[in-house]
Amino acid sequence: MSHATSTRDEVIESLNEVSVVFKTRRRSVEALGKTSLELRPRQIINIVGESGSGKTTLGRVVALLQKPTSGKVLYKGVDPWMEPPKRFMEIKKKIQYVYQDPYAALNPVKTVYETLASVVKMYEKGLSRNQVKERVIELLELANITPPEYFLNKYPHHLSGGMRQRLCIVRAIIPNPEVLVADEPISMVDVSMKASILNLLRSLRSQMGMNILYITHELSSVKYISDPQDKLLVMYKGHVVEEGLASEILAKPIHPYSKILLSIAPSLSRRGDDEKLRKILLLSTRSRIQGKGCVFADRCPFAIEKCFTEPPPIVQINHRRVLCHRASELVGEDVPVG
């Protein structure tokens, strides 16, 4: 298994003020508003948000599946979108994407062996039949689909959801990518299998030095997958509302949206019968048409008049960037359930 050769400080890929606007006949929707990001080896970047937050669009921009409307994507200093098609495809192979639904991502009439072997043959030319088989077995062991010999001739429907997703992940690493975009890899998998998928992603980072863009709506899984130096971006309606070290945001979120997300994140010590929290959750089901103010204002328990009329500034607090008018006042503030 060859290893990524980049050193720790080298930026593999960067996004500079990237926006994506989808246009329909009647209106245009800004799915991603001016977002910047730097991806380095051996790093997990967590993206947290609800549906419609733009987290998948961000993942697709990183994986070169979506061309930005404005802003620049650079892969090792070059703009892939300006490169000739052949070179573009070569770069694209270095950034692999794992989809949410492991039930849809595998061909139901191909065995486990065929699924992996066809990709191995495509990328590692000139291997003998035995070498291909060895490589497939090695991949299955990495995915903890054991004993590998037993599963070689099984079809996807014989595998549990967790196994399928791990199979999808090891299939994605065959081209030896430097970046792996994992888009909600655990959301469709049983509770008891989730940890096994996150463990695999963690070992890819530590063993192969891969950068992993981990997209999720489950904040608790961010804590599980992250090391102290890994980053977290909290997204809401196409905007990064809070950005910083995952460990710091999880310990003390500043943006009101991050605070709410953390207060409802899965926890065995959570008190689900909290009357006041329930009120906030109901508040959050209101929906109002936005003016030019903060995208979160209509759901925000801390909103003041200014939030509805003026776009919020990016406030820098230590290592953290928070998109909020009241960011500096809200440090250490709890969700006002009082």
- Which residues, 217 to 246, sit near another protein by CB under 8 A? 217-221, 223-224
CB of 195 to another protein, least distance (A): 4
CB of 241 to another protein, least distance (A): 14
Of the ranges 35-43, 106-114, 216-224, 316-324, which one interacts with another protein (CB under 8 A)? 216-224
Least distance to another protein from the beta carbon of 267, Å? Answer: 5
Report the site for another protein in 32-51 (rule: CB under 8 A): 50-51
Instruction: Pick the piece of the chain touching another protein (CB under 8 A) from 14-22, 72-80, 176-184, 264-272.
Output: 264-272
Q: Which of 86, 271, 288, 292 binds another protein (CB under 8 A)?
A: 271
Count CB atoms within 10 A of the CB of residue 57: 23
**Among the listed residues 250, 254, 322, 327, the single contact to another protein using CB under 8 A:** 250
* Interatomic CA distance for residues 78 and 83, integer angstroms: 8
State the greatest distance between any 2 C-alpha atoms of the chain, in Å, as a whole number.
Answer: 69
Q: CB of 32: closest distance to another protein in angstroms?
A: 18
Q: Which of 71, 161, 175, 301 binds another protein (CB under 8 A)?
A: 161
Query: To the nearest whole angstrom, how small is the minimum distance from the Cβ of residue 221 to another protein?
Result: 5
Q: What share of the chain is helix, strand, coil (3-state, %, to 5)?
A: 35, 20, 40
The Cα 110–Cα 130 span in angstroms is 19
Task: Compute and round to an integer the Cα radius of gyration of the chain.
Answer: 21
17 Cβ contact partners less than 8 Å away, ≥ 6 residues apart: 34, 35, 36, 70, 71, 72
Dist. CA 14–CA 74, nearest whole Å: 5
Question: Which of residues 276, 278, 306, 319 is near another protein by CB under 8 A?
Answer: 278
Our finding on whether 335 is near another protein (CB under 8 A) is: no
With binding defined as CB under 8 A, does residue 273 bind another protein? yes
Q: Are 214 and 45 in contact (CB under 8 A)?
A: yes
Among residues 198, 232, 235, 322, which is the contact residue for another protein, using CB under 8 A? 198
196 contacts another protein (rule: CB under 8 A):
yes
d(CA 322, CA 308): 17
End-to-end CA distance of the chain: 56
String of DSSP letters for 189-229: S-HHHHHHHHHHHHHHHHHH--EEEEEES-HHHHHHH--TT
Determine if 114 is a binding residue for another protein (CB under 8 A): no
Residues forming the site for another protein (CB under 8 A): 50-51, 160-163, 190-196, 198-199, 217-221, 223-224, 250, 260-262, 264-274, 278, 281-282, 284-285, 287
